[in-house]
Amino acid sequence: MRYLPLTAENRAEMLGVIGADTVDDLFTDVPEAARLKGPIEGLPLHASELAVERHMTRLAAKNLSAGAAPFFLGAGAYRHHVPASVDHLIQRGEFLTAYTPYQPEIAQGTLQVLFEFQTQVARLFGTDIANASLYDGSTACWEAIAMAGRITRRKKAVLSGALHPHYVATIKTMAKFTGDEIADAQPTVAPEPDEAGLIGRIDDATAAVVVQYPDILGRIGNLQTIAEAAHAKGALLIAVVTEPVALGLIEAPGKLGADIVVGEGQSLGVGLNFGGPYLGLFGCREKFVRQMPGRLCGETVDAQGKRSFVLTLSTREQHIRREKATSNICTNSGLCALAFSIHMTLLGGTGLARLAKTNHLRARQLADRLSGIPGIALVNSTYFNEFCVKLPTDAREVVRALADRGILGGVSLGRLYPDYEAIHGGLLVTATETTTTEDIEALAGALEDILAGEAA
Amino acid sequence: MTRYFTDEHEWIDVDGDVGTVGITDYAQSQLGDITFVELPGAGDQLKKGDAPCVVESVKAASDVYAPISGEVTEANAALEDEPELVNSAPESDGWLFKVKMSDASELDGMMDEAKYKDFVSSL
């Protein structure tokens, strides 16, 4: 059969069925003022493929990609080396084109991947169980708060002042519609997180205490103390991990008393992707499994006694009980979970530990170099691969000046906390295994120049 | 003590102003092996027709509707570790929750055991 484009008769016939006279009638809902009249200014009506390709390539060349410059950005999204085999394997048709595995009999490979993924996340987090992934770290964090509310039958979450402000914003957005009380706190730029202050805010109405680990400034706090204080008041401790590679070197939150551990899986296998898609990780104690959002894949045997996999728990998901779903994030970030799982498998336990060690060593090298620069002071007393330095001036200006020199020099606290002017001298800098000595020299040299210029 | 039945297959035993609620033997046999019961908490306020309780079996997750309005005074804690009691003793040890009834007239029109048997045999 030939492909035939839409004829005027076809169009008239379809419009007749709908009961419209013209195609424009289909857009009467769009206000007149919002409608485009005539072609888009400056855009030709048509162009050849070659011309479009060249034009787009020229536009793309204006971007400065993470891999093309000394790169020190973190704050919840980290640049790591992703082995080429990860991308190759996730593009196999069996994985790439499969949607969420509702039909276990035809999706055994996908289900097995999810089973392995859950096992890896649970081991990484030190939790009894983990689910088959959520949308991203911030929404996973909200899901954990909602879950703690169901378990404790309370409606208040106490947030650490060192929780990523974008996570706080996500939580507040969701809580607006559920009526949960969210008690957050001002950020403090100090060598240690304000644990006593956080503990002091936990009361008998608290369902969950939410602590980031390492926190937004990269500090590694004492989860155990906070867990004990939370449990003493009948509240749960939720630990948030935005940099899972850290857990190759520091103790898993689940082993330190956290009841629910959530995180962002972007660091492993997923890549920066201009901010998404990312990957929500979620683990908890086994006794809470029935209150866990999302889905959980289990191992069983089929009628012939062969090892097989099924979705065992998904009664809070919309394909089972839409009206009772606790999570509307049903799009399992399956492909990102697969990428995470392949990367983790390639690393293995020893490889992850080695990767983490390399990250930390690079960060120490960076911290040593930067704190030797006049006017720069290292804030943290602990860190993994990210830390905060204080500059004598607004860090946003310095970040811009660095970008002008082709260096992506960090995330300024002014960008993260526009309302807290007192901390606008703070700059978050991150080093990973991709950071070279030359990168560190480039940043340090440029900072010396820029700050000397400021002082002059 | 009087026992009433609903057409949603709940039973309620009434003793003074307290009603004890469970699901019927017919309901548990339709659900199959019960793996989890999500119970209401003491102090929860119920309106007749609310779904304060969920019974999950290997086949499905089913709401249990409140046959009567009132305040939950107790949930059957034994079901947390032994949800299978709902299968083995649905109309005795496998009870779900107790309610301090706020309007006993809501019992009017519910079935007695004989009527419920007729109802089930007609399904």
Which residues of chain A does B41 touch, with a Cβ-Cβ cutoff of 8 Å? 153
For residue range A404-452, list pLDDT tens digits in order.
999 999 999 999 999 999 999 999 999 999 999 999 999 999 999 999 8
With a CB cutoff of 8 Å and minimum separation 6, the contacts of A126 are A251, A252, A253, A254, A255, A256, A258, A261
B-chain residue closest to A317, CA distance: B61
Nearest-Cα distance to chain A for B61, in Å, is: 7
Interface check B56 vs A, CB under 8 A = yes
- Widest CA span in chain A: 80
- CB-facing half-sphere around the CA of A230: CA atoms within 13 A: 31
Residue A324 with chain B: CB contacts under 8 Å: 54, 61, 63
Q: Which of A151, A319, A324 to mutate to test the interface with B (most CBs of B within 10 A)?
A: A324
Q: Give me the interface pTM, i.e. the ipTM.
A: 0.73
Query: Taken in order A224, A225, A230, A234, is the CA torsion positive or negative?
Result: positive
pLDDT digits (tens, 9 = 90+) for B54-63: 998 877 788 9
The reply to whether residue B38 touches residue A290, judged by beta carbons under 8 angstroms, is yes
Predicted local distance difference test score (pLDDT) of residue A161: 95
Contact A216, A162 (CB under 8 A): yes
Q: Give how far B41 is from chain A: nearest CA, Å.
A: 8
Average pLDDT for chain A: 92
Tell me the two tokens of residue A60: 């793309």
**pLDDT value for A291:** 87
The tokens for A375 are 């006017």
Residue of B nearest to A321 (CA): B61
| Residue A152: predicted pLDDT | 94
Q: What are phi and psi of A94, to 5 degrees?
A: -60, -35
Residue of A nearest to B41 (CA): A153
* Chain A contact present for B42, CB below 8 A: no
Chain B, nearest residue to A154 by Cα: B41
What is the pLDDT at residue A333?
A: 81
User: Which of B33, B36, B44, B50 is the best residue to mutate to test the A interface, defined by the most A CB atoms within 10 Å of its own CB?
Assistant: B36
d(CA A379, CA A357): 21
Provide the shortest C-alpha distance from residue B9 to chain A (in Å). Answer: 20
Contact B65, B8 (CB under 8 A): yes
Partners of A151 on chain B (C-beta within 8 Å) are: none
What average pLDDT score do residues B40-68 get? 88
Distance from CA of B83 to the nearest CA of A (A): 13
More confident residue, A224 or B104: A224
Residues A339/A349, Cβ–Cβ less than 8 Å: no
Residues in chain A within 8 Å Cβ distance of B36 = 290
CB contact under 8 A, A321 and B61: yes
The amino acid present at A236, given as its one-letter code, is L
Low-confidence stretches of chain A (pLDDT beneath 70): 1-3, 99-100, 102, 104-105, 315-320, 322, 326-332, 454-456
CB contact under 8 A, B54 and A324: yes
| Distance from the Cα of residue A147 to its chain's centroid | 19
B38, B41, B61 ranked by CB distance to A153: nearest: B41
Facing residue for A320 by CB, picked from B38, B61, B63 = B61
Q: Which of A449, A52, A381 is nearest to A195 (CA)?
A: A381
Question: Which residue of chain B comes nearest to A323, CA vs CA?
Answer: B63
The tokens describing A36, both together, are 């485009």
Whole-angstrom distance, CA of residue A123 vs CA of residue A91: 26
Q: How far apart are CA A215 and CA A268, in angstroms?
A: 19
At A100 the pLDDT is: 67
Task: State residue A41's pLDDT score.
Answer: 87
Does the pTM exceed 0.90? Answer: no
For chains A and B, CB pairs below 8 A equal: 12
pLDDT of A90 reads 92
Q: pLDDT tens digits, residue range A108-148?
A: 888 999 999 999 999 999 999 999 999 999 999 999 999 99
